Structure 1
Amino acid sequence: MTTSPADISSLPIPPGDFGLPWLGETLSFFNDGDFNKKRQKKFGGIFKTRLFGKNVIFVFGAQANRFLFTKEQETFQATWPLSTRILLGPNALATQMGEVHRSRRRILYQAFLPRALAGYLLKMDRIIQGYLDQWEKKGEVTWYPELRRMTFDVAATLFMGEEAIQNPQLFPWFETYIQGLFSLPISLPTTMFVKSKRARALLLAELEQIIKVRQQQPPSEEDALGMLLAARDDDGQPLSLSELKDQILLLLFAGHETLTSAIASFCLLLGQHPDVRNKVRQEQAGLDLGEGLTVEMFKQMPYLDQILQEVLRLIPPMGGGFRELIRDCEFQGFQFPKGWLVSYQITGTHADPDLYPEPEKFDPERFTPDGSAIQNPPFARLEMKLFATRLIERFDWTLLPGQNLELVVTPSPRPRDNLRVQLQRISSPRSHL
């Protein structure tokens, strides 16, 4: 039964508190890890607030998520905070709409087909094992910042070419850029937003130089940039320089931030559960990992799939997201007005005991090895599996005492003290290129 516009307008808007003029409750949203829980307790499972200058309705649970995603483009459309849209750029896939979005998505997808992923594997393996060598020499490692640098080196190499990581300023610029993506869009010189805009300009200038050099070289599709340079849109035209830069910068962001969080969570949880770590090692024992790691070989590690799925369930690298209402609608007796944002929650859904018994427990056994485990993008899935395989075949690790392992959740979950560990080598490192 369809609810008429007149019926919808007569329904109440969810309870809640808008907070300060324009700013709303944005600062609390960023700084209070219990923001959602406190308001759920006060107002119930659906509540309103104001963030980034926009009215927002928070919803929770699998039913709410299903409602949002089955009404995509009919009632809701994907959106980002203003600061994110500005800093990603007008030509990035995430900010494009309609047919342009669909066309560019088909083009970018070429960089993640199985053939392309198989070609990435050797480069990824070389970078990851290089970091394992460095960590072995140190013995004691503050892991999270090291993982950030490792995933950046992988992403920059695969998306921009091996020459990209030769500039030592590239990673610091990228880190500054990332910090402003979900900031308040206040254009004052000392704000994170403005610092991020400056870093974006430096990154784009470097990207432009790399692209111009590549345009003078013979075509090569050994990395994402090469594929994008060879791509043609529906009219047979190559991508413009400005679009190439925005799309590559988006790929760097997408191939780094949430992936780093997921890998750090894997390291944390398996540091806390050596029995699970040993079971992965038993699964590896019958495989010849050596130099010849292939995509097909990872299919022979179903328990590793279960572990990665449980890591992503227990500590989702993205806590939720936003959709914008493109027309009025009704949900669970409330009016959702056109133009408002709706925030869906992944973390809360994954903690629902009706979906996952004992949701706070790390239990890879809750998932069956049917090959359907991980639904995150194929590049991220491949890098997670490769890193996990190489790490476990070579090291045991112990979480050092006296550190705070509480998770900081913005922009992606990470241990507050950056995950300090002692590594113990259990096998000789394999020779690698």
Structure 2
Amino acid sequence: MTKTTEARGSLPLPPGSFGLPLIGETVSFLRDRNFVNNRQKKYGPIFKTHIMGRPTVFMTGAEANRFILSSHMDRFSWREGWPDTFKELLGESLFLQEGAEHQRNRKLLMPAFHGKALGNYLSVMERMTQNYLQKWERLGSFTWFPEFKQLTFEIASFLLIGSEPGEETTQLSQWFTELTDGFFTVPLRWPWTTYGRALRARDRLLVHIEKAVLHRQQEPAQDALGLLVQSRDEEGNRLSMQELKVQALLMLFAGHETTTSMLTSFCMALAQHPDVWTRARAEQQKLAGDGSLTMEQIKQMTYLEQVLREVERLYPPVGGGFRCAIEPFEFNGYYVPKGWQITYRIPETHQDSRIFSQPEQFDPDRFK
């Protein structure tokens, strides 16, 4: 049974432990990669804990995801669910906005990411990727993750803030790493702490982005930042300087962090499954032309899409997300109070044999 209610009745809270006074189980959550799995084995798919200063319920499985993200999504706050560290570092960006504000800014951002604009970005992506392919051929042996992280950041930073690959991009990437290191950490603001460094890195990135925005306002272009600067809503209003800065910062994060993980898992999967690699390569050879890559060619890469969907299923680049209960609710016999943080999970759902047959196997043909 899943429903919202104002009355707790005789329903119990989910099983689990709040851990130590004040800090709860935050240290274990941040350091133990098996934090969720260990507690699921002990308590089941729904359990309570206390992390990042808040009582939290982890809810796993397709039914839980549907409850949080679809059927009862209006009972949860997106913005209030995320830790304060995350909210402070990313600011009032689209990722943390809700309601009319979210809809308005989403429409303003869309011109930079619709089909025609994406087609215009292809030449940049292709040129930079070719440079890295030549570099990797010279190296012979290397580690995928840091290489992909550098490549995707260079592409994102060029399109979003006009930074050419080089020393400037290297410095920006270092600041960005310091920023993301602070998303889920203890919010101690001293300069030598992880969070203190994250705040300093955020400020430096925003200063750099502001310079890029001012440049684009003086010299319009059809890159992502140029389109954001030119975008207007129905009343003719544009994004303010502060809005442009925080939205560009968000796009830098969204544009390379998860893509890096996805590409690394993709290469690992191809190496482990040579038959899949052979089919994917054959499709690329068939579609390869003499000129530059086009969106029409990409649309014809049906087997590659199957492979990427299976990579995303078996190795999801995002483990889950946060919400906040804006009213008390019941779920599968448990009561969850108003104001508690809710965490939904993705990997466990993708491994559910009731949804995917033989879920542990890598099989792109399941997405034919």
Q: How high is the TM-score relative to the length of structure 2?
A: 0.94
Deviates more, 1:237-246 or 1:123-132: 237-246
1:212 aligned partner: 214
Query: Conserved in 1, the CA contact under 8 Å of 2:327 and 2:339?
Result: yes
1:188 aligned partner: 190
Query: Conserved in 2, the CA contact under 8 Å of 1:22 and 1:54?
Result: no
State the AA in 1 paired with 2:41.
K
1:109 aligned partner: 110
2:361 aligned partner: 361
Task: Show the 5 A alignment for 1:45-84.
Answer: 45-71=45-71, 73-78=73-78, 79-84=81-86
State the AA in 2 paired with 1:161.
G
The CA deviation string for residues 330-370 of structure 1, in whole angstroms up to 9 with x for no partner, is 111111111001111100000111111221111112221xx
Query: Conserved in 2, the CA contact under 8 Å of 1:93 and 1:104?
Result: yes
2:242 aligned partner: 242
What is the distance in 1 between the residues matched to 2:6 and 2:135? 65
Deviates more, 1:25-34 or 1:255-264: 25-34
1:139 aligned partner: 140
What is the distance in 2 between the residues matched to 1:198 and 1:184? 16
1:200 aligned partner: 202
The CA deviation string for residues 93-128 of structure 1, in whole angstroms up to 9 with x for no partner, is 112232111100111122111011111111110011
State the AA in 2 paired with 1:41.
K
Query: Conserved in 2, the CA contact under 8 Å of 1:157 and 1:165?
Result: no
Structure 1 unpaired stretches of 5+: 369-433
1:332 maps onto 2:343 in alignment:
no
Helix, strand or coil for the counterpart of 1:343? strand
Helix, strand or coil for the counterpart of 1:8? coil
Task: Show the 5 A alignment for 1:147-186.
Answer: 147-163=148-164, 167=168, 168-186=170-188
What is the distance in 1 between the residues matched to 2:161 and 2:274? 37
Q: CA deviation at 1:85?
A: 0.4
Helix, strand or coil for the counterpart of 1:169? helix
What is the distance in 1 between the residues matched to 2:5 and 2:302? 50
Query: Conserved in 1, the CA contact under 8 Å of 2:3 and 2:331?
Result: no
Query: Conserved in 2, the CA contact under 8 Å of 1:164 and 1:210?
Result: no
| Change in 2 beyond 3 A, CA 1:125/1:232 | same
Helix, strand or coil for the counterpart of 1:74? helix
What is the distance in 2 between the residues matched to 1:7 and 1:358? 41
Helix, strand or coil for the counterpart of 1:281? helix
Helix, strand or coil for the counterpart of 2:262? helix
Q: CA deviation at 1:2?
A: 9.0
What is the distance in 2 between the residues matched to 1:136 and 1:267? 15
Q: How high is the TM-score relative to the length of structure 1?
A: 0.80
State the AA in 1 paired with 2:146.
P
What is the distance in 2 between the residues matched to 1:2 and 1:46? 13
Query: Conserved in 1, the CA contact under 8 Å of 2:57 and 2:343?
Result: yes
The CA deviation string for residues 273-332 of structure 1, in whole angstroms up to 9 with x for no partner, is 122111112222322334331111122221111110110001000011111111111111
Q: CA deviation at 1:246?
A: 0.6
2:285 aligned partner: 285
By relative contact order (CA 8 Å, sep 6+), the higher-ranking structure is: 2
Helix, strand or coil for the counterpart of 1:208? helix
Number of equivalenced pairs: 365
Task: Show the 5 A alignment for 1:294-333.
Answer: 294-333=294-333
| Change in 2 beyond 3 A, CA 1:162/1:172 | closer
What is the distance in 2 between the residues matched to 1:52 and 1:4? 25
What is the distance in 2 between the residues matched to 1:45 and 1:137? 48
Helix, strand or coil for the counterpart of 1:304? helix
Structure 2 unpaired stretches of 5+: none
What is the distance in 2 between the residues matched to 1:68 and 1:97? 15
Query: Conserved in 1, the CA contact under 8 Å of 2:119 and 2:295?
Result: yes
The CA deviation string for residues 227-253 of structure 1, in whole angstroms up to 9 with x for no partner, is 111112344222211111110000000
| Change in 2 beyond 3 A, CA 1:325/1:284 | same
Deviates more, 1:51-60 or 1:76-85: 76-85
2:27 aligned partner: 27
Q: CA deviation at 1:161?
A: 2.2
Helix, strand or coil for the counterpart of 1:209? helix
2:37 aligned partner: 37
What is the distance in 1 between the residues matched to 2:30 and 2:308? 27
What is the distance in 1 between the residues matched to 2:252 and 2:21? 35
1:267 aligned partner: 267
Q: CA deviation at 1:211?
A: 1.4
Task: Please identify which structure carries the higher helix content.
Answer: 2
Query: Conserved in 1, the CA contact under 8 Å of 2:54 and 2:341?
Result: yes
What is the distance in 1 between the residues matched to 2:354 and 2:151? 37
What is the distance in 2 between the residues matched to 1:120 and 1:312? 23
